[in-house]
Chain A
Amino acid sequence: DQQVKQNSPSLSVQEGRISILNCDYTNSMFDYFLWYKKYPAEGPTFLISISSIKDKNEDGRFTVFLNKSAKHLSLHIVPSQPGDSAVYFCAASSDRGSTLGRLYFGRGTQLTVWP
C-alpha cells in the first residue's frame, strides 16, 4: 500500500521559473515530512523538512507547504536552476506506534530545469 504518493512522475520547468512538486499521503498518523533530492547513482540528499505543527517552512530557494486537512504537501523551488534537475522524493514518518523511525517514500518526481 502506497501511503505516500507523488502522482507526477516528471516535471519540466524553464530556468528562473518556479518548480512545484506535489505529494499526497493517506496516513493521518504522519507528523513529520521530508523532501530528498537524488542524482543518479547517488544516495538521497536531505533538502528540507516540516513538522505537522507548522504549515510552511522555508530554506533559501526551497519552501515546503503542508495542508494537513487535505493530507497534501508541496515543495516550491524559486528560482529554478539547471543544477536542480534530479529526482525529488517526498517522505513521511510518525513518532508513534510500531512504525516509529521508518520513512515512507513516494515514487519520486523527475524534475528537469532547462535553460
Chain B
Amino acid sequence: NAGVMQNPRHLVRRRGQEARLRCSPMKGHSHVYWYRQLPEEGLKFMVYLQKENIIDESGMPKERFSAEFPKEGPSILRIQQVVRGDSAAYFCASSRGLAEGTDTQYFGPGTRLTVL
C-alpha cells in the first residue's frame, strides 16, 4: 500500500516564477492537508481539502497561494510569483476523514522549494 506521494521532491524557482507542488494521497484517503515548515520551526497548517472542495484555507496566505483537489488526479498547491520568503519544505498529509475525531494524518516526504 503506497504512502502519500509528493513531487517534485526538490524545486528551484527564480523570484516571480510559479511553483506547482503535487500530492497523491494514500489509497482510501479522501482528505488532504498541506503544511509548511520553515527552518527551525514546526509544521504550520495551510489548507484542508476534500475532493473538489476546500474545507479550510485559513492557514494559507491570502495572495499568490491556491490549492485544489480535483475529482481526478493529485492535489495541487500553487504559488504564483514566488518570493525568497516562500523557500520552505511543503508537506502534504492525507487521512480517511473519520467522524469521531481520531483521524490520523499520514505525511508525504515533502517538497523542498528554493527560491533564488
Contacts and interface: CB of A to CB of B under 8 A. Distances in A.
B41 interface: yes
A95 B99 CA distance: 8
B69 interface: no
Interface of A: 4, 6, 31-32, 34, 36, 41-46, 49, 51, 89, 91, 93-96, 98-108
B65 interface: no
A44 B33 contact: no
A98 B102 contact: no
B106 A49 contact: no
- Contact size range, B: 20 to 34
B4 interface: yes
A95 B91 contact: no
B35 to A, nearest CB: 8
Interface in B73-116: 91, 93, 100-110, 112
Of B42, B55, B105, most A-chain CB atoms within 10 Å: B42
Nearest to A2: B42
A99 B6 CA distance: 24
